[in-house]
Amino acid sequence: MATYYLDTSAIVKGYSPETGSKWVESLIDPMEGHIILLSEISLVEMAAALAAKSRAPGGPSIAERDRVLSRFLQDCDEQYQLLGVGRDVIDLAVQLTQRQRLRGCDAVQLASAFILNQALLAQGLPPLVFVCADEGLLTAAQNEGFSTENPNWHP
């Protein structure tokens, strides 16, 4: 059992078939016993990602999009642990943009993981693993001392 923080580029793979989906599906499978951490911003980012996929030529139907989004939101309520995006996260995200080359929402994702990781370490628990399919965000996470995984490395 391990603790994983997944940004939206990673968690979307557990709900929409693409490179790395099988690996993410096994990671988030409750039978594996892993702790899965997300930022609440992932709810909005996931909804936007699924809507974009639905609008793309040959993408899923609106009904399928809605079914997948509903399942994801239910899993967020029942299976994943979410960190709210409060002022502490925003303040740290601002600082991270000055140290790392990050887009706004990516800075929020990394700040969320940073705060969750500090809480784990303060409790004497092992650090989390930062999971992301965005090379730039992975580099920033590595620069901040995180152990990382890219689902795209596990086709």
Report pLDDT digits (tens) over 54-100.
Answer: 999 999 999 999 999 999 999 999 999 999 999 999 999 999 999 99
| Degrees, nearest 5: CA angle 101-107-108 | 175
Closest CA to 110 of 80, 140, 153, 84: 140
Number of domains the chain is built from: 1
Domain span at residue 77 reads 3-153
Chain Cα centroid distance, residue 38: 5
Domain of residue 89, CATH code: 3.40.50.1010
Q: Which residues contact 36 (CB under 8 A, 6 or more apart)?
A: 4, 6, 27, 28, 79, 80, 81
User: pLDDT band at residue 1, thresholds of 50, 70 and 90?
Assistant: confident
pLDDT mean over 97-125: 96
Alpha-carbon distance of 127 to 35, in angstroms, equals 12
Q: Is pLDDT above 80 for 155?
A: no
With contact defined as beta carbons under 8 Å apart, do 16 and 68 qualify?
yes
Tracing tokens 């996260």 back to the chain, one arrives at 89
In DSSP notation, 43-91 reads HHHHHHHHHHHHHSTT---HHHHHHHHHHHHHHHHHT-EEE---HHHHH
pLDDT single digits (tens) 120-151 = 999 999 999 999 999 999 999 999 999 999 99
Longest CA–CA separation in the chain, Å: 49
Alpha-carbon distance of 107 to 102, in angstroms, equals 6
